[in-house]
């Protein structure tokens, strides 16, 4: 399998040619790329909200012919149990997306619980400095907003270091730019983000 290109941010964009690799997601990309080496053909993928974990699963299933079991922590345990056994029987990979891996994910079906304990797991981490800047730049560019590098530096130091925080900041800046018909500047960004509650007024 050739190198997987998987975007890790906005799930409405399923293009797979703009993957931003950083320390926050490199281990996940390597693991999915080498799925044939997994000790069992199943992996649990966890990650923060809006980190793109469901999108990664869809792309992985499409590229490998495997199966995605999304929102697994809220799914029927019998169905997941049969999916796990099916992956073993067919030797087709199964990617299980969950909020957290066991034991934080409490499974009541004993046979499923024992299988999940033996299942490899990988996690998308919160965005590091490089990924935070890159996602800000790309997200703002996709909204048609020209952002000078000093503004990206200012934003990176002030917004919440999370995928949800990045999206909230981009949404607030997009609304401010549209409503005022003005290019983005640090003063405008500060006012817009404070009004949206994305950063503290202090």
What is the distance between the alpha carbons of residues 29 and 180, in angstroms, rounded to a whole number? 40
User: Cα(46)–Cα(143) distance, rounded to whole angstroms?
Assistant: 28
The 10s digit of each residue's pLDDT in 92-118 is 999 999 999 999 999 999 999 999 999
Residue 8 belongs to some domain of the structure: no
In this structure, the answer to whether residues 118 and 146 fall within a common structural domain is no
- Give me the residues paired with residue 42 across strands: 94
Domain range enclosing 169:
129-195
Task: Count how many domains the chain has.
Answer: 2
* pLDDT tens sequence across 160-202: 999 999 999 999 999 999 888 778 899 999 999 999 999 987 6
34, 107: one domain = yes
Structure-block tokens of residue 174:
């997009």
d(CA 6, CA 37) in angstroms, rounded, equals 19
CATH number of the domain enclosing 110: 3.40.50.300
Mark whether 115 and 154 lie in a shared domain: no
Beta bridge partners of 95: 43, 68
Q: Are residues 147 and 77 in the same domain?
A: no
Same domain, 32 and 117: yes
Residue ranges in the chain assigned as alpha helix (H): 26-33, 53-64, 77-90, 110-117, 129-142, 149-156, 163-180, 186-195
Evaluate the omega torsion of the peptide bond into residue 56 and state whether it is cis, within 30 degrees of 0.
no
- Residue 121: pLDDT over 50: yes
Same domain, 50 and 119: yes
Supply the pTM of this predicted model.
Answer: 0.83
Average pLDDT for the chain: 88
């Amino acid at each position: 399998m050739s190198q997987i290109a998987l975007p890790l941010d906005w799930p409405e964009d399923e293009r797979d040619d703009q993957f931003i690799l950083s320390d926050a997601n490199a281990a996940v990309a390597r693991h999915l790329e080498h799925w044939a080496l997994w000790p069992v053909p199943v992996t649990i993928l966890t990650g923060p909200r809006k980190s793109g974990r469901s999108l990664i699963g869809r792309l992985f299933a499409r590229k490998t012919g495997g199966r995605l079991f999304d929102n697994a922590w809220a799914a029927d345990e019998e169905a997941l149990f049969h999916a796990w056994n099916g992956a073993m029987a067919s030797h087709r990979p199964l990617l299980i997306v969950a909020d957290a891996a066991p034991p934080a994910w409490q499974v009541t079906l004993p046979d499923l619980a024992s299988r999940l304990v033996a299942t490899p797991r990988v996690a998308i981490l919160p965005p590091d400095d490089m990924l935070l800047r890159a996602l800000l730049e790309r997200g703002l560019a996709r909204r048609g907003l020209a952002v000078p590098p000093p503004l990206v530096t200012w934003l990176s130091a002030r917004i919440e270091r999370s995928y949800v925080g990045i999206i909230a900041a981009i949404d607030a800046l997009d609304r401010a730019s549209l409503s005022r018909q003005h290019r983005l500047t640090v003063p405008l960004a500060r006012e817009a983000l404070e009004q949206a509650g994305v950063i503290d007024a202090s």
